[in-house]
Amino acid sequence: MPNWFKFTYHPYPGKDLKTGEIVEVFRPTVPIVVSSKGIPSWEIQALVDSGSDRNLFPAKLGELIGIDIKSGDKRPIQGIGNSNIDAYTHKIKIHIAGYSFETEADFSYEQQSLLLGRDGFFNFFKKIEFKEKEKYVESIG
């Protein structure tokens, strides 16, 4: 199966920092299914995040697919503003656009969104391009 995808950015509600009004913010997300030990999640939007070192997912998602979160290797994750959270690393399978691969993800009880990072997602593709003007993200083999 080819490891290629192209997805239009997904709209989310956001706040205009100048006016305070609620506006649509388009983000480079892709629909994925995550599985562990043969138990799949539902299809869920994950942010393709070039600033994320690794895949980082909510612990609740891991629990729903049968992962004992705290049994994984514990690691501190540092984020924006030097905030620190604890995460636990587990092996998972990511399914995207008819392609799937085994990788790792860090799961945290303090994380709410799915972040696809450079190690664990980007490294499975030759190239990932963000087309800001056209509002889509695509991979090349």
Structure tokens at 18: 């100048």
Each residue's pLDDT tens digit, 31-69: 999 999 999 999 999 999 999 999 999 999 999 999 999
Say how far apart CA 60 and CA 58 lie, in whole Å: 5
pLDDT at 82: 80
Q: What are the residues whose beta carbons fall under 8 Å from the beta carbon of 76, sequence distance 6 or more?
A: 84, 85, 86, 87
pTM assigned to the model: 0.92
pLDDT at 1: 46
Q: What are the residues whose beta carbons fall under 8 Å from the beta carbon of 14, sequence distance 6 or more?
A: 22, 23, 24, 25
Taken in order of first residue, the domains within the chain and their CATH numbers are 28-130 (2.40.70.10)
pLDDT at 51: 94
